[in-house]
Chain A
Amino acid sequence: MDILTAIAIMALGAVVLGAALGYAAIKFKVEGDPLVEKIEAILPQTQCGQCGYPGCKPYAEAIAKGECDINLCPPGGMEGVQRLADLLGREVKPLEAEEKPKQVAIIDENTCIGCTLCIQACPVDAIVGAAKQMHTIIAQQCTGCELCLPPCPVECIHMAAVGETLDNWKWKYPVVGIKAVPLKDAA
């Protein structure tokens, strides 16, 4: 008898809680699709298309729809994959391509012929110049996507790693590991 009462109480509890959860799911359903926005906020906005989509937003939409993997964005690096995995509850996968340090493009101003082809290619308008005038790249706005390299007919654009300066220098993660330094008198 006792055991039946206990089961009944548990069952009742389950039903009530389940109903409450179901109701909450309907009542507090989130409108719109903030997921795409959340994913896009993680993507680095380099707009390089290396993921196989024409920009970060299309890639974000594809991820949200579950059409593709989360490890296709090289500029985002492993950290980006990690954060996407956290957001979406998906498995962390190693990056498809190699991770590169951040770069900027530089136009060799002696060689540039002013063809404007790179201007058209740059997704973020980081190149300034006019037809038959020397072009130059605004380093702060360049995302390092390399899209301007192939169109240049005289190959005057090259990529340079962004060096460490006092403005972007970072303290390193403390390396004093437990295993790294054995006790001197360790047996």
Chain B
Amino acid sequence: MLNLFKFWGGVKPPSHKTESNNKPISVAPMPSHLVVPLHQSIGGTPKPVVKAGDKVLKGQLIGEADGWISAAVHAPTSGTVREVAMHVRPHPSGLDSLCVVIDPDGRDAWIEHAPFDLASAAPADVFAHLQRSGVVGLGGAGFPAHGKLTPAPNVAMDELIINGAECEPYITCDDLLMRERAAEIVRGTALFRDLLQPKKVLIGIEDNKPEAVAAMQAAVTALGENFTVVAVPTRYPAGGAKQLIRVLTGKEVPGSMRSTAEMGVQVFNVATAYTAWRAVAHGEPVISRIVTLTGNVAEPHNVEVLIGTPMDELLKLARPHPDTDGILMGGPMMGFLVPNRQVPVVKTTNCLIAHSERLFPPKAPEMPCIRCGSCAQVCPHELQPFEMYWYARAKNFGKTQEYNIFDCIECGCCSYVCPSRIPLVQYFRFAKSEIWAREREKKAADEAKARFEFKQFREEREKAEKAEKLARAAAAQAAKKAAEAAAAAAEPAAGEAPAADARTAPAAASAADSEKAAKMATIQAAMERAKAQREAAQPRNTGELTPEQQRDLAEIEARRQAAGISEPPAATQEPKAE
């Protein structure tokens, strides 16, 4: 038996898994429309390759990966592209991002697809295939899978870990996947093993899922693999990548390390292994996933659902109780309330929890920190949350960094136990994003300064050059004059020369004047033209406006004129992002 290690801290919230894990996975019916966000994984935003009106087939590429760390996006079913437009994304910010909206035609017709020829493929081809198939980490962050399949250059790959811990309360999608589709997970694991060549393969599952452990064990034995299926003690956040690594191998990956591969370990979620295998063995891109529907609902269960399904349509399948007042995406420890109910399911949506005050009572008022240390007792990264909180609250961000705020994984254990009900994690998220913003600002300021200084330097140089040129010209002039004078002196009519000089000077001046006047005239003309153009230009987006809107516009226009700003009405385009 494998020797297991312990990680510091952790909590044991009520698991609420039995509600949804006793029914088999069902298939969700076709939704009325699908909103597929292009940006569903960490890294570059895929470029749309379809436009409104296009007919697409199930599995057809609609967003092309942009760069190495990025993964493709596909049409989840066949139908017509209604639009490629900005829609709210399931993200706590509630901001829009570019989405492809598809009206299904009901045929659900697949595009031609074929198994990937693994035997004759080089690793690079496999990576490209996984990227093309949109395989990303389905556990949480959504890191493109192929990006994690290369060992670090000079560290031997010791362990490959498949994460089936699923430590968050309520969520059971991985549990059901392991119970029902263990063989494909094991095959996907074998694929990863072949690419990474680790010494050992460990499959970690929390010991509150005995059926999943048994199913995985049976599949491993049946397929003759030498993977070790390990039941790890149930304790949140045992399913955090770094915690699972610690439990299974005893290694502690520091927060500052960018990739666990530098410690010779790599972790994949079970669902990632499953989709990777589907992509290779059947040529199917990631267009659906298993989602747990639970919380304040009458029929909690797991469904296989197309990416892009609007959440409210999906949640209806579980028959939410009438007092449901929101939808939580993810688990109750790290998930978030979606900004609006129509947001679509994305690749990282593992669970939808119907939120109600009965289930999640509103938080009691926040009290001052009594430094009881409970938070430090449970922090799996052994931080001192109350110190970070103290400084984050005071917006003393430098100090929060001294207390290693960037090692915080936002697991929420500290908030969970805090007797003073302080939303500690929220303070940490706030501090982190402020620090990032400041770094961005600092960078921009440094750049601006450098550019400003360069411009000044350039102007100085130009001035110097001009002065030099002038001096040279003057010297040449003087020399010429001297020569002329000498010549004139040699001539008999010497008295005329200065007079001629006096005559040429005003002539030159008037020439300069006329040049200036001409320039002014052109500018004037251009201004006229521009004005005419501006007046002629029909504002692009004011074609079909309601009377109210037109009235509003007129008012704004009037106000503008009153304020003396006459902006070109057509110039409302956004600043170029990035």
A residues with a Cβ closer than 8 A to B are 40, 43-47, 55-56, 104, 106, 108, 110-111, 113, 115, 123-126, 139-141, 143, 153-156, 158, 160, 162-174, 176-178, 180-183
Top 10 A-B pairs ranked by shortest CB distance?
A45-B445, A171-B429, A108-B571, A170-B433, A124-B451, A113-B526, A154-B530, A45-B448, A174-B426, A169-B93
Contact of B448 among A46, A104, A165, A169 (CB under 8 A): A46
Q: Does A141 contact B576, Cβ atoms closer than 8 Å?
A: no
User: Counting CB contacts under 8 A, is B472 at the interface?
Assistant: no
B14 to chain A: closest CB distance in Å? 23
The distance in angstroms between the C-alpha atoms of A115 and B575, with both chains bound, is 22
Given contacts A113-B530, A124-B451, A170-B434, contact A108 B446 (CB under 8 A): no
* CB closest chain-A residue, reference B571: A108
- A125-B455 contact in complex given A45-B449, A141-B447, A169-B95, C-beta closer than 8 Å: yes
Q: Could you name 9 residue pairs across A and B whose Cβ atoms are closer than 8 Å?
A: A45-B452, A110-B568, A113-B530, A154-B530, A155-B566, A171-B433, A176-B365, A178-B366, A183-B365
Task: For chain B, give the interface size range.
Answer: 35 or more
Tell me the B511-556 residues at the A interface (CB within 8 Å).
523, 526-527, 530-531, 533-534, 537
Q: How many A-B residue pairs have CB under 8 A?
A: 131
Known: A158-B567, A160-B574, A168-B440. A182 touches B365 (CB 8 A): yes
Chain A: CB-nearest residue to B440: A168
B468 within 8 A of A: no
Q: Does B367 contact A (CB under 8 A)?
A: yes
Chain A residues, Cβ within 8 Å of B527: 113, 153-154
Quick one: given A47-B448, A156-B568, A158-B567, are A164 and B95 in contact (CB under 8 Å)? yes
Give A156 to B529 CA distance when docked, in angstroms.
12
A125 with B570: CB separation less than 8 A: no
Evaluate contact between A110 and B427: CB separation under 8 angstroms.
no
Chain A nearest Cβ from B126, distance in angstroms = 30
Other-chain residue from A108, A166, A176 in contact with B568 (beta carbon distance below 8 A) = A108
Question: Pick the contact of A166 from B93, B368, B447, B576 — CB < 8 Å?
Answer: B93
A170 in contact with B448 given A125-B455, A139-B575 (CB within 8 Å)? no
Least Cβ–Cβ distance between B571 and chain A, in angstroms: 4
User: What A residues does B523 contact at CB under 8 A?
Assistant: 113, 115, 153
Q: Which residue of A is nearest B366, CB measured? A: A176
Contacts of B445 in A (CB 8 A): 43-45
Cα–Cα, bound, A183→B433 (Å): 31
Q: Is B91 interfacial (CB 8 A cutoff)? A: yes
Q: Tell me which of B427, B455, B534, B577 contacts A174 (CB under 8 A).
A: B427
User: B577 — nearest CB in chain A belongs to which residue?
Assistant: A165
Whether A124 contacts B575 in the complex (CB less than 8 A), given A44-B445, A110-B537, comes out as no
- Contacts A45-B445, A110-B533, A178-B366 known; A153 to B526 CB distance under 8 Å? yes
Q: Is B154 an interface residue (CB 8 A)?
A: no
Please give me the residue from chain A that is nearest to B438 by CB atom.
A79
CB neighbors of A among B404-452 (8 A): 423, 426-427, 429-430, 432-434, 436-437, 440-441, 444-449, 451-452
Report yes or no: A154 in contact with B571, Cβ–Cβ below 8 A: no
Q: A158 and B571: CB pair below 8 A?
A: yes
For A170, what are the chain B residues with a Cβ–Cβ distance below 8 Å?
430, 433-434, 436-437
- Do residues B448 and A141 form an inter-chain contact, with CB atoms below 8 A? yes
Q: Does B454 contact A (CB under 8 A)?
A: yes
Q: How far is the CA of A77 from the CA of B277 in the complex (A)?
A: 54
Q: A45-B449, A113-B530, A125-B455 are in contact. Are A163 and B363 (CB under 8 A)?
A: no
Residue numbers in B under 8 Å from A55 (CB-CB):
452
Determine whether B402 belongs to the interface, using a CB cutoff of 8 Å to chain A: no
Note all chain B residues with C-beta closer than 8 A to A155: 566, 568
B531 proximity list for chain A (CB < 8 A): 154
- Shortest CB-to-CB span from A51 to chain B, Å, is 14
B573 within 8 A of A: yes
**Bound state CA distance, A182 and B95, in angstroms?**
31
Asked if B365 and A181 make an inter-chain contact with CB atoms under 8 angstroms apart, the answer reads yes
CB distance from B420 to the nearest CB of A (A): 10
Alpha-carbon gap, A35 to B367, bound state (A): 41
Complex interface: chain B residues within 8 A of A165 (CB): 95, 577
Q: Which residue of B lies closest to A183 (CB)?
A: B365
Known contacts A113-B526, A141-B447; 18 further A-B pairs (Cβ under 8 A): A40-B449, A43-B445, A47-B449, A106-B573, A125-B455, A139-B575, A139-B577, A158-B568, A164-B95, A165-B577, A166-B39, A166-B95, A167-B577, A168-B440, A169-B433, A170-B433, A171-B429, A176-B363
Q: A45-B448, A154-B527 are in contact. Are A162 and B97 (CB under 8 A)?
A: no
Assembled-state Cα–Cα distance A162/B574 (Å): 9
Is the CB–CB distance between B365 and A104 below 8 Å? no
How distant is the Cα of A81 from the Cα of B530 in the complex, in angstroms? 42
List chain B residues, Cβ under 8 A from A178: 365-368
- Is the C-beta of B578 less than 8 angstroms from some C-beta in chain A? yes
A108 cross-chain contacts in B, Cβ below 8 A = 568, 570-571
